[in-house]
Chains A and B, each alone.
Chain A
Amino acid sequence: MMNLPSAREVYQKIAANIGQVMQGQSAATRKLLAALASGGHVLLEDFPGTGKTTLAKALARSIDARFKRVQFTPDLLPSDILGVSIFNQRVQEFQFHEGPVFTNILLADEINRASPRTQSALLEAMGEAQVSVDGERRHLAELFFVVATQNPVEFRGTYPLPEAQMDRFAMQFTLGYVQSAEEVAVLTAQASHHPLDALQPCVTLAEVVGLKNAAQNVRISEELKRYIVDLTGATRTTTGVQLGASPRASIALMKAAQALALFDGLEFVTPEQIQELAEPVIAHRLVMEPQARFSGLTARGVVEGVVKRIKVPA
């Protein structure tokens, strides 16, 4: 079992490695790694070209682990992700060919461009860490981390993810455009070759699994559990919200906060970690009423308001 300082060192190594490629995205990296360490999956939603795929690839390259990428298109089939059994003429039997889901890190690019049927195939794998093909259950790897990206839902040619499936993602956040100075640095870095190509794995798979286990052992007090429940509970009764955050959101928030506390070198969670993660963990699970949406109220605004309203334990 990995002790706390070495677990933190693993985090710092990966973050530094990603930082070589992703300029000015340390906050996003922190959240991404918190999701990884807490065993959740991440949905990145942003405009094309902001570095979603690069971030996911940088993470994959930093870890000495299997990495697969699926580009979602409207004609993608579930078997294209899960795998398919093919009759082998030579041995006269069906043989299962594993799909890209049998990996450690899966980049599901533009997930909302695939049909709902394909989407749910992936999401079942995410929720259960197993897949059923031809009536046979197959377990996925111990470290199975999905980084999905999606274009904003208003874009053409998208199948919006249903609420139930949005709930499967521990976090959703955006990268956003970086500062102009940082964008210049990006240009400089990519002038001759892509820095991603030079990226070397810096931690082993075992180390990442150790990080995951260590995060689970971060302590959290009853009072802060209560604070988490207060935050998610408040979203259920806010005006303009049709469907509030589920208990699954509370669990995800707690686990991610534990991971974040670990990154901060703490053995226990403090209110700061919870506040930092409240928006990326809760906001994407809220279903807003159409009227509220038209009046400019966003799910993100609701969570922000809730955080501002609920008295924080100090």
Chain B
Amino acid sequence: MKPPPLLLGATLLFWGWQSEFLVVGAILGVVLESAQLIRTRWEFSDEDFARIWTFCALLLLASALYAFTANEGPASFGGFFSDANPITTTRASSATARTASAMIRWLPMLFFPFLAAQTFSTREAIPLTVISLIARRRWKKLTPADQSSPLARLSFHIGYPYFAATLLASSFHPAEDKSFFWGLAGLLTWMLWAHRTRRVTLVVWVGLVALAVALGFAGQRGIGSLAGYLQEQNPQWLTRFLRRNIDPSHSRTALGQIGDIKTSGRIVIRLRPKAGSAPPEYLREASYRVFKSPGWFAGSLKDDFEVVGEDPPNSASFPLLPGKTNSASINIACYLDGTSTNGSPEGLLPLPTGSGRLENCPAYVLRKSSLGAVVAEGPGLVLFDALFGPGLTMDLPPSLNPESNEDLYVPENEQAALDEVVKELQLRGQPPAQVLPVVAGYFAVKFTYSTWQGRDRGTPGTTPLSRFLLENRKGHCEYFATATVLLLRQLKIPARYAVGYAVHEPSGSGYVVRLSDAHAWCLVWNETQQTWEDFDTTPASWIAEEARNRSPFRWLSDIWSRLKFEFAKFRWGQSKLRQYLLWIVVPGLALLLYQIIFRRGRRRQASKRTDEGFITQWPGLDSEFYQLEKQIATRGVLRKPSEPLNEWLRRVAENPALAGLQEPLRALLRLHYRYRFDPLGLSDADREALKQVTRACLERLDRAKP
């Protein structure tokens, strides 16, 4: 199938306009469409086309190399190979993206020689074997009889593939307006018009095309508006469905909600303790200071974030607490589910209490807050080593001013219930060292863990927390943690509300943490040690309670989770696999190249061998007549491959400029035919005559030159 006249020229012009190569596009278009005026055609063989194709391929390689170097490719990849860290990886991938987009924009230029060769050649179609090694190989395997069949040699016209490539190249356009869409629609309509079926009437055809264009327009507009609408929506509204919503500035609890708390058994974190390290009990994501039922808030320290290390980081090591000695190390893998303002994945890192340093962390930017939350911006999946130890934590010590100290703030409506508990336990005036065991014992003995909250409204005007403390005495971890924090604060012991995960489920050489292991507990200020300590009053039965909700098919989802994890590791470059892959690909390509060269050598030998079996060197191919044919072809009378010489001579005679040559040419053709097709061949005298007459004809042709 051949594109209609002028379509490719117009497409090239469109490409030039869209990708800012207007002059180039115009020149290419004019050169191509000049074929409508210039009638001269060259006769290219398959071999010639194969050479031109190789030339185009080399051009592509060379320009790829150029684009790669122009886009700082070598430097980025040099860094990527010598020191693979998130920064060099990002640089390398953006260099790759720039190279690829430049290559696609250049495609019409790179493959123009091939298109021009076909346009200006006598051939309507080029066999696929010219460009495809696979087709060539398959063709070689056929028997000679099958090889001569036209079916065995699929042919194509480069016109439409080139058309498609040019449109693709135009799509990489800097222009933001609608010109690309309408140009594309126009060119495609033109193409379809040339091949429209005559079965349907013109009206129906135009109607259908208009409908298709309208649908396309609506579709691209619709996708744009949907994206805009979703961006305008509160992203949290969406993320609530997707994951546990953790925000360093506030945490909504389920306090006061009726019904069961449903948690999923999905694995969210994987831990692998380094040799000799005990796993941490808790992985904290954030802590909060101010309780406003039903939520906990970061209070005045909400925006107190500082960048850890340098920005952008120069190494994968982030000192959270410079100077801290860390006794344990653990490898943590977690997903970054949020999205930062610049579009890359972002999330809170679950860290053991007392983390002092992160190693091998692929984050682009790492920020920590004075409430111990660490926000990482990086790939969707991060694997890092957390070094931690008892003692100092990232958290800011409680402020010394008791009036404005948010670590001692208790909402007024909760104070009555808390006072009642303090009275019941006779804790007023006791030192913290004695208060904590009593509180822990109180919650362990008198309270039960339950994810179910009944409908009993209790005394009107009471808060959910006071009902938990005084009436039903059962609830989930958020109740226990909130109650404990407020109870300690009522006793003037600074405390904070912490959220994160409990680590308890071994898996292989490490641990897995599921969404259902999400937990809330309490941070208590140890005045003597000057550190914040974890204090968990939720009855230990909560883990068993959660386990009761476990689905019998959880092993299946665990396998799935593992697969997704491995894939995410690969996708976000967190495994060495990607680098290995590159090192595999490079020798693979070299091998392929070697094979191509090697095969070429073998083919040369093979073709020699077949030559012996079958004569392709027919007699008389050195006839001088061919020079004459070539000369006349330049005058515009080209012989088609299937046209016998006699017919061609008749056409030559029709050309007024060559009419005088008809008789000598006829005589010459008789000699030539005898030389070529008479098994007896020509006598020496006749052979000489063939030479002489040809020379005479050539001279006459020269004289007749206008």
Chain A interfacial positions (CB closer than 8 Å to B) = 219-224, 230, 233-234, 236-239, 266-272, 275, 307-314
Contacts and interface: CB of A to CB of B under 8 A. Distances in A.
Interface in B23-78: none
A313 B618 contact: yes
B677 A268 contact: yes
A238 B647 CA distance: 26
Interface stretch (B386-394, B452-460, B638-646): B638-646
Given A236-B149, A239-B151, A270 B644 contact: yes
A221 B678 contact: yes
B199 to A, nearest CB: 14
Contacts of B619: 221, 223
Contact of A234 (B148, B641, B678): B148
19 contacts: A219-B678, A220-B679, A221-B619, A222-B679, A224-B677, A230-B148, A234-B149, A234-B150, A236-B149, A237-B148, A239-B151, A268-B673, A268-B678, A271-B645, A271-B677, A311-B642, A312-B642, A313-B676, A314-B644
B586 interface: no
A312 B674 contact: no
B586 to A, nearest CB: 42
B151 A237 contact: yes
A237 B639 contact: no
Contacts of A310: 642
B673 A307 contact: no
Interface string B656-684: 00000000000000000110111110000
A309 B642 contact: yes
Nearest to B673: A270
Contact of A233 (B148, B642, B645): B148
Contacts of A236: 145, 149
Nearest to A308: B642
Binding site of B, secondary structure by majority: helix, strand, loop or mixed? Answer: loop
Contacts of B647: 272
Contacts, number: 77
Contact of B677 (A270, A308, A309): A270
A2 to B, nearest CB: 19
Contact of A311 (B152, B641, B674, B679): B641
Given A230-B148, A233-B148, A309-B150, A269 B642 contact: no
A240 to B, nearest CB: 11
In this complex, the member of B618, B646, B647, B679 whose beta carbon has the largest number of chain A beta carbons within 10 angstroms is B679
B686 interface: no
B49 to A, nearest CB: 15
A308 to B, nearest CB: 5
Given A219-B678, A270-B677, A271-B644, 10 more contacts: A221-B678, A223-B618, A223-B676, A233-B148, A236-B149, A268-B674, A270-B646, A272-B646, A309-B642, A313-B676
Nearest to B625: A314
Contact of A237 (B146, B615, B680): B146
State the 8 A-B residue pairs at the shortest beta-carbon distance, nearest first: A237-B149, A268-B678, A223-B618, A311-B641, A271-B644, A221-B677, A272-B644, A308-B642
A270 B644 CA distance: 9
B689 to A, nearest CB: 17
Interface of B: 145-146, 148-152, 615, 618-619, 629, 639, 641-647, 673-674, 676-680
A311 B153 CA distance: 15
B151 A222 contact: no
A233 B644 CA distance: 20
Nearest to B640: A308
Nearest to B643: A312
A219 B680 contact: yes
A313 B618 CA distance: 10
Nearest to B152: A237
Nearest to B145: A233
A223 B621 CA distance: 11
A272 B672 CA distance: 14
A311 B43 CA distance: 12
A314 B672 CA distance: 9
A310 B150 CA distance: 9
Contact of A223 (B149, B644, B677): B677
Contacts of B674: 268
A3 to B, nearest CB: 16
Most buried by A among B639, B646, B678: B678
A237 B615 CA distance: 23
A237 B677 contact: no
Contacts of B678: 219, 221, 267-268
B676 A221 contact: yes
A314 B674 CA distance: 11
Nearest to B151: A237
Contact of B639 (A230, A239, A314): A314
A266 B676 CA distance: 13
A306 B674 CA distance: 26
B615 to A, nearest CB: 7
Nearest to B614: A226
Contacts of A224: 677
Nearest to A238: B150
A236 B150 CA distance: 10
Nearest to A275: B644
A266 to B, nearest CB: 8
Greatest chain B CB density within 10 A among A230, A236, A268, A308 is at: A268
B466 to A, nearest CB: 86
B141 to A, nearest CB: 16
Contacts of B150: 234, 237-238, 309
Contacts of A267: 678
A309 B676 CA distance: 21
B645 A219 contact: no
